[in-house]
Amino acid sequence: MEEEDALELLQRYRRDRRILLDFILSGSLIKKVIMPPGAITLDDVDLDQVSVDYVLGCAKKGGMLELSEAIRDFHDHTDLPQMNNGGSADEFFLVTNPQSSGSPPRRAPPPITVLTPPPVPVTTPPPAFAPSPIVSAASRSESFNSTQERELTVDDIEDFEDDDDIEEINSHQVSRRRLNDASDLVVKLPSFTTGITDDDLRETAYEVLLACAGAAGGLIVPSKEKRKDKKSKLMKKLGRSKNDNVVTQSQRAPGLVGLLETMRVQMEISEAMDIRTRQGLLNALTGKVGKRMDTLLIPLELLCCISRTEFSDKKSYIRWQKRQLNMLEEGLINHPVVGFGESGRRVNELSILLAKIEESESLPSSTGELQRTECLRSLREIAIPLAERPARGDLTGEVCHWADGYHLNVRLYEKLLLSVFDVLDEGKLTEEVEEILELLKSTWRVLGITETMHYTCYALVLFRQYVITSEQGMLQHAIDQLKKIPLKEQRGPQERLHLKSLLSKVEAEGGSQSFSFLRSFLLPIQKWADKQLGDYHLHFAECPVMMENVVSVAMLARRLLLEEPEMAMQSVSVTDRDQIELNIFSSIKNSFARILQVVDKSEIHEHPLALLAEETKKLLKRDSSIFMPILSKRHPQATIVSASLLHKLYGNKLKPFSDGAEHLTEDVASVFPAADSLEQYIISLITSTCEEETAAVYCRKLMPYQIESISGTLVLRWINSQLGRILSWVERAIQQERWDPISPQQRHASSIVEVYRIVEETVDQFFALQVPMRSTELNALFRGIDNAFQVYANHVTDKLGSKEDLVPPEPVLTRYRKEAGIKAFVKKEILDPRISEERRSSEINILTTAALCVQLNTLHYAISQLNKLEDSILERWTRKKPHENFLKKLVEEKSKSFTKNDTFDGSRKDINAAIDRICEFTGTKIIFWDLREPFIDNLYKPSVSKSRLESLIEPLDVELSKLCDVIVEPLRDRVVTGLLQASLDGLLRVLLNGGPFRVFFPSDAKQLEEDLEILKEFFISGGDGLPRGVVENQVARARHVVKLHGYETRELIDDLRSGSSQDMLGTRGKLGADSETLLRILCHRSDSEASHFLKKQYKIPKSSS
């Protein structure tokens, strides 16, 4: 309800305002009222657009009132707060009353016009119909190199019929685009010497369009009533939002008339100027029967047919006249399509006349008008013949050559092409675009435009609009136009000659350069596209899809430019693939430089080269997944080019660091893994792009970082230092070892635990190294650990001493002497052959049976834990191997060499050998050292019956119990087997090398057999001891000797003689014994036959008494 009251109040206010102004203007308060152009009475004037302050000011002064100035003042001060003119600069009144203005406005305020940023400022002139901020002129007034502004005149305001139109426009919210800078797309054309502005070109282009439409009979001057009764088409179009449907053709006047009205709105031409131009062109044809309107010298005809009185102010007229004179000078003198020849003198006269016409405006009205009239007449006499000179084979009078001189014609045509863009949305084409383009074809004859020129100009206009708006649709339209530009062989001979003649010289830093038409228009497109593609990571990061179209633009422009002679010579060796590579090189280098800056400024506590590797890898991943699929369509190896370049750029930064790396520092451990990961990813990218053979070729071209080699050397240094540390710990542990078990459950020595602790620490440190490693370093670690355990095993056995230290020396062979046996028995203490060494005795006594068992347990622990250590190392190495597919096969091949249990073969062999030696030593020590007296010295002395083996079972059992109490279960059989072997060795020693004090008879064989059986059963122990088969095998050699003792002396002698006939000791006879065994048995026989045989046959002496 309040809104309705406010609206009614506003309407009442406007009505009262009109009544008041009508009263003031009709009364005697104003001396004289001058109507604006086109108005006859006050009824023709929209009083809502007349400034009250201006009218009151004129009334106070008592002077004349120019309503055009009052309208100008109204629009100039519309957006300013009302002042009371009281002389105080600090006082003002709000436009609205905050107490009674009702609810807040529901529409958004009009946005601020977006200006184009530097370096090349592109100014946007005010719209020709209203100062409304929702109307964009970026598409219409911006030229190829526009730098000037146009002032607002009263003519530009005449089109507003009433405030309802303005309210309708302001009632819609129109979102504006962010406009980009298109200053790089400057066409290579020289500037105009007369200072023609973009607005001058636009207005002249519209005049040309009207003339061409008039030639087709479509030029009609709209009546005043029609303008008053019907809303402006511009208002209707601006009265919709960007998202609304475009005004349909049914709402527009039909045919050419409606299309021209649309063109007027699109080109921002005021209705007043439109009417003046139409009327002037129609008046120019008066009296020219058979003359086409498009063959008129339009600027000259308009100068002659439009008077000063048709303009609302003198300034507007002077500006309009200046434009027409400049066009004549540019079209006929500066850029003529036909050379002057003998007409050079008339050109000078023409320049003088143009200057006089301009000068006439500064003279008194009567004098100036006379001079202007005379000059116009003279100008016609000179200009018409110049303009009607034939060109391109046309007949005289067929075409008027005043606007088709290069480059004026393309500038004018460009202004016409700008009308295809939607007035509300610069990123879209207007609905009437096809009709507009068809209409523009009518200007080709006047402007000298060919099909190639049209497509080229239109492509540039569309492409520049894409740059301004970033609308991808515009880019696609530009590509379509570039594709339509015919190649050189597709053009007709006349067009080829015409295009060849279109040259322009542009001043540059190195002097003036000559450009053909296609170079002038396509070179900026190509350079802009190449510049964007030269840093595609930056420009297409948010919209990579658009990159493909820009690549198409660059390639199309390049293909067309390569046909130009000067470009063909410069680019003879540069192919499209070469250009793609250049773009990749440039963009990768720019992106890498930005990454370097980011890394330098990073506050992350990590080495810069490690961060650089990570960022480079991210860049490469983004490049290969987003941009390379686009570039690979034109360069199959684009991914390889990109990856190789990044590999080189990072390698240049890495090389000083890698060359200076001498030790495994924290920096090395940080940088090397990151660098290796980057290199492996680059190689995988290359191998995934092409076939294996081709990939191998490209990979060989890379300068490898040699991370594995360098880090491998550093790791080997580290391993060697650690292995030295391990060996020192082994030495120390052995020296301090007392061979006591750790506990009843852990019956091994503490030294091996200490050795394993230091080894495992080293292994943990090895796998904690994050630097890349090869199998070489792993092998070195294995060898070092293997050597450490070999050293340990050797140290254990080194202190055992020799077996000969335990076994007494064998007595000299003598034949039996009865007295010797008795004497020896009586004086055995004196004649005891055992010779002991005190020095070795103490060392041997230290090595007790328990200590020897602890040594065995320790070695067994070493070899059992070695298997676990080996499995752990191989498992961790498998986890450490890289996961990239391209290395999987290689790593598997390397890993296969470690799956076999051959990595610690040396230590296993040495430890097992040490165990065997200690087992043998332990058995020998027990029999030959600990039990020497009852076993070696007294068994079977003085006879078998008096000293049986049964007496030794108890001490043997005691020693065996000592062994089994300490030894671990897996080694029990091995050490007991050693004791069995030593027992049999001792028995054989007694039977064969018992010395002259032992005598055996054939009848003793049975007792010896019984003793051997007792010994065997002792070690079998009813199945709890050694396996029966093992014991039987060991006892077999002793059993044979016992059997030999049962033979009669004669049998032994005969068998010995049969063996001796071959004159070789050690040969076996019928009894299956060697000669030495038989000889020793005979030496222990107490009969004369044996003694006689030995004396005669072998010269063996008797035993000494």
- 995: phi > 0 → left, psi -120 to 50 → alpha, else beta; which? left
pLDDT score recorded for residue 476:
93
pLDDT score recorded for residue 394:
54
**Sign of the four-CA dihedral 220, 225, 231, 234:** positive
Q: What is the DSSP string of 347-403?
A: HHHHHHHHHHHHHGGGS-HHHHHHHHHHHHHHHHHHHHHHHT---TTPPTTT--TTS
| Separation of alpha carbons 624 and 588, rounded Å | 12
Q: What is the DSSP string of 1048-1100?
A: -HHHHHHHHHHHHTTT-TT-B-TTS-BHHHHHHHHHTB-SHHHHHHIIIII-P
| Separation of alpha carbons 821 and 831, rounded Å | 11
- pLDDT tens-place string over residues 537-569: 999 988 888 899 999 999 999 989 888 876 655
pLDDT score recorded for residue 763:
93
Tally of CA atoms within 13 A in the half-sphere of 676 that contains its CB: 24
Token pair, residue 133, equals 């901020």
Token pair, residue 692, equals 């294996």
pLDDT score recorded for residue 384:
86
pLDDT score recorded for residue 150:
45
pLDDT score recorded for residue 1062:
55
CB atoms inside a 10 Å sphere around CB 395: 8
pLDDT score recorded for residue 611:
93
Contact assessment for residue 834 and residue 808, using Cβ atoms and an 8 Å cutoff = yes
Contact assessment for residue 811 and residue 977, using Cβ atoms and an 8 Å cutoff = no
- pLDDT tens-place string over residues 199-235: 999 999 999 999 998 887 777 877 654 444 444 444 4
Strand 64-66 relative to strand 32-34, pairing? parallel
pLDDT score recorded for residue 753:
93
Contact assessment for residue 355 and residue 370, using Cβ atoms and an 8 Å cutoff = no
| Separation of alpha carbons 920 and 375, rounded Å | 139
Q: How far is CA 79 from the centre of its chain?
A: 53
Q: Which residues of 201-235 are buried (b: 16+ CB within 10 A; e: fewer)?
A: bbbbbbbbbbbbbbbeebbeeeeeeebeeeebbbb
First to last CA, the chain: 157
Q: Which residue, among 422, 421, 400, 402, has the nearest Cα to 412 in the 3D structure?
A: 402
pLDDT score recorded for residue 425:
84
Q: Which residue, among 779, 654, 770, has the nearest Cα to 716 in the 3D structure?
A: 779
Token pair, residue 562, equals 């390569």
Longest dimension (CA), the chain: 188
Residue positions counted in the chain: 1105
pLDDT score recorded for residue 386:
82
| Separation of alpha carbons 1056 and 1061, rounded Å | 9
pLDDT score recorded for residue 483:
93
Point out the residues of the chain with pLDDT beneath 70. Answer: 1-5, 7, 37-40, 44, 78-177, 223-254, 290, 339-344, 392-398, 509-510, 566-573, 816-843, 845, 881-902, 1059-1068, 1103-1105
